[in-house]
Structure 1
């Protein structure tokens, strides 16, 4: 597999913005270098989205603005979560100080985050390198202590477990975060948004827009955009009071709010709230709230090492026996069996 950028010949007469000789200057002789570190079961979409942005930027400019290489922990081939095997140029090593390291992971990042990786990340951080995590790789950066006191993001499905494991990290719901020389993305196509921002910072918005056009990426997101769809879009209902109540439920899982208080806060009676949920969601507010709490509990059981009792408390269940009864009714298994059946965690 080639590891150098795909560079087109110079295009002096190319009329496209951000291409050709208008970008040539001091940076032309010093392309920025990215080291992609692939962990087994990494997300192919997150990785390829980032890499394609660099390749297309080179093509639009007509020469190498960026170079890159692929590395693994042991220098051996790496398999992505879709089963495709990737060759790499070598093992993780000391990078040049102005390089950017992008750690790529996906399923079972905890199993891939060993002492050697953590030690290497800490050494490179002490040398001042920019370090980024694509998809679930924010977990490895946080485990190394490199996100303490910083803003970061991770895929929405893993936010509950991440928040429990790393309370010193300011976790956001943004599609990507740049906090100094720490980068993180929420997975999927959010790698495109991060790389377009970096390209714009390095070489101007015209080039970033040209790259987006090549990708047929019509809506570039910023770090102010959240990764999940809005409540009305997710539940398929555009009723402002219903959306407000669902948002309140999602924000108060550990200490659930009674239906009477929810109804009062949106200016309706409990009976009106009941009818609203029955009409649009075909369930009672109490049932909908319970399903939200059990979904979070399931995420924590599969993605963290929290005890079943602590999971119950984090999801608003005062009694472990009540939690187990509700969990069995919803998922047809007990929390203890669910925990035992999970051989991998932090999966996307």
Structure 2
């Protein structure tokens, strides 16, 4: 049996809990939403009183489906918010399609009240589209980073698991919702209670906004070789203006032949081939997640001509960039 902890910052009046309003978008991430909600539930239990309340709303006010296909009953449509409410928009796949004009207008209007507005998982896109992240630090799921950076130049995009910038908060998705909620709970009620919530969730590695969302290069590729990791990091940071293998090799203190052998040994491909795959992956993300022209996608990924880009894309994905985008648009309309 746990011993309730005394709140240090939220008022002791149990009739006035801090209310979170979750706005669920079509195809939202169930993991990002459920972990945020569970953190609040456990905080109430560990505090021994109702310090947090919540409501679940969405456009239309009826029901909404998560990306796993399960439907959820909404409490209401997009209603007026209280000035002390905390608003969290939860996105998922196909975030552009679920970011409607009605939703954007509502977010702009409610944000003028000065309340906290946040985006879980891909919902940072929705906040940025509404102009709520201009001049702010923010994060979004790593798969959406390339397209987000291309579309929202006024947002200071980071690779953190979550970001708190004054009254704007964003997360990278997945379990990063827990990290954000633990941060908010600690600010409201003290670190002791936040740590108790983490213990109840069996969450032993609490991350801060200084932690990045992706695994380190050695962990991702399954190889711990410092020079190989360094070269891959250089490749990932220079997609639009590529670096030749000879310069990559020189910068890590080896010959081009040694670099070739290193990639062949650990990754079973040449540096050139590996670099090409990184560029094509970014191109695919841009084709799926933005309305950039194929020519601009090609240029953003270091290809000098659309024809060369199309040839390389087809060799790797067995389809052309135009067909890829067309088939994706067809799937969204079904």
TM-score, length-scaled by structure 2: 0.96
Size of the aligned set, in residue pairs, is: 331
The structural deviation recorded for 1:24 is 9.8
Q: 2:308 aligns with which of 322, 330, 335?
A: 322
Listed one character per residue, the Cα deviations across residues 191-249 of structure 1 (whole Å, up to 9, x for unaligned) are: 00000000000000000000000000000000000000000000111000000000000
Shift of 1:82: 0.9
Per-residue deviation, residues 261-312 of structure 1 (Å, max 9, x unmatched): 0000000000110110011101100000001001100111111100000000
* CA RMSD between the two structures: 1.5
Secondary structure of 1:33's partner? strand
- Cα 1:314–1:115 change in 2 (3 A) is same
Q: 1:306 to 1:276 in 2, by over 3 A?
A: same
Distance 1:95 1:116, change over 3 A: same
Query: Counterparts of 1:47 and 1:270 in 2: how far apart (Å)?
Result: 48
State the TM-score, normalizing by the size of structure 1: 0.92
Match of residue 248 from structure 1: 234
Question: 1:259 and 1:114, CA in 2 relative to 1: closer, same or farther beyond 3 A?
Answer: same
Q: Note closer, same or farther for the CA distance 1:70–1:167 as it changes in structure 2 (3 Å cut).
A: same
Change (3 A) 1:305 1:15: closer
CA 1:24–1:268 in structure 2 vs 1: closer, same or farther (change >3 Å)? closer
- Greater shift in the superposed pair: 118-127 or 198-207: 118-127
The residue correspondences of 1:193-342 to structure 2 (distance < 5 A) are: 193-342=179-328
Cα distance in 2 for partners of 1:186, 1:179 equals 15
Rounded to whole Å, the distance in 1 between the matches of 2:9 and 2:140 is 36
Displacement of 1:27 in angstroms is: 3.3
In the TM superposition, residue 129 of structure 1 has moved relative to its aligned partner by: 1.1
Is contact 1:110–1:345 with CA below 8 Å preserved after alignment?
Answer: no
Of 55, 68, 72, 2:58 maps to: 72
Q: Does the CA contact (< 8 Å) of 2:9 and 2:187 recur in 1?
A: no
Change (3 A) 1:343 1:27: farther
Task: Report the Cα distance in structure 2 between the residues aligned to 1:325 and 1:309, rounded to whole angstroms.
Answer: 13
The 3-state SS of whatever aligns with 1:27 is: coil
Where structure 2 has 5 or more consecutive residues not aligned to the other structure, the ranges are none
Task: Pick from 81, 106, 122 the counterpart of residue 95 of structure 1.
Answer: 81
Q: Does 1:109 align with 2:99?
A: no
Structure 1 position 327, deviation (Å): 0.5
1:343 Cα offset (Å): 2.6
Write out per-residue CA displacement over residues 58-111 of structure 1, whole angstroms, 9 at most, x where no aligned residue. 000111010000101111111111111111111111111011000011112211
| Residue number in structure 1 paired with 2:150 | 164
